[in-house]
Amino acid sequence: MRSIVRSSERFRSKEGWLDTYWHFSFGHYYDRSSMGWGRLRVFNDDRIAVGGKFDLHPHANYEIMTVMLEGELEHTDSAGHRGVLSANGVQAMSAASGVYHSEAQHGAKPVHSLQIWIEPEKKGGSPTWASHEFKPEDFENKLCPLVSGMEKVKAPLQIGQKAALYRAQLGPKKSLSHSFSGSHAFVYVVSGKLKIGSDILEAADSMKIKDEKKMEFEATGHDSADFILIELP
């Protein structure tokens, strides 16, 4: 089963320094038919203007990941973790039994990032945070595991759920295949055109996938296709 959500179908919230697109119900946006996908609860495409900041606020019982596309983002939390994430960097935070954190635009350029929340396998525990800086060549013509809680998928960052987050940048006409482990998957096209089976996805389009064993991904057109893949139980 495959279902495409076009970029124009996303919910947009633009308030002051934050311009964001929500794929599922979030904040003041409620859509009973779109409460998540498998264990994926949030997928937000955020743009944070210079000087923008999420003030200290609480989270609990979510695995929260940020994929940086442009700019720099500073993280601070009540567990004592602090760090600055740059383009191609990723951070993973287990909110566990509860943590307060803030995120702020850092440096001279606006931030473009993806924020992803996945329900944990078990609730509670102590909060954790870690980050990793990837290089563009890490994604070149292959699926690079960014974050994983799956035993057979090794990644620099870990979460407490049998899920995996990948990124790939396929050169023009390049392709790859992937065999799925979980029952659900979610694909988001960052840039370019991506062919999945007989379907063509363009920048900011997404696809919800269920009960597929294996799929082919191909960059079409004259540009590379940069995309995110999330495997979920």
Integer Cα distance of 47 and 76 in angstroms:
19
Paired tokens of 13:
């919230």
Assign domain 2-232 to a CATH class.
mainly beta
Integer Cα distance of 188 and 132 in angstroms:
21
Integer Cα distance of 204 and 209 in angstroms:
16
* Interval 70-124: pLDDT, tens: 999 999 999 999 999 999 999 999 999 999 999 999 999 999 999 999 999 999 9
Model pTM? 0.96
Closest CA to 131 of 109, 101, 108: 101
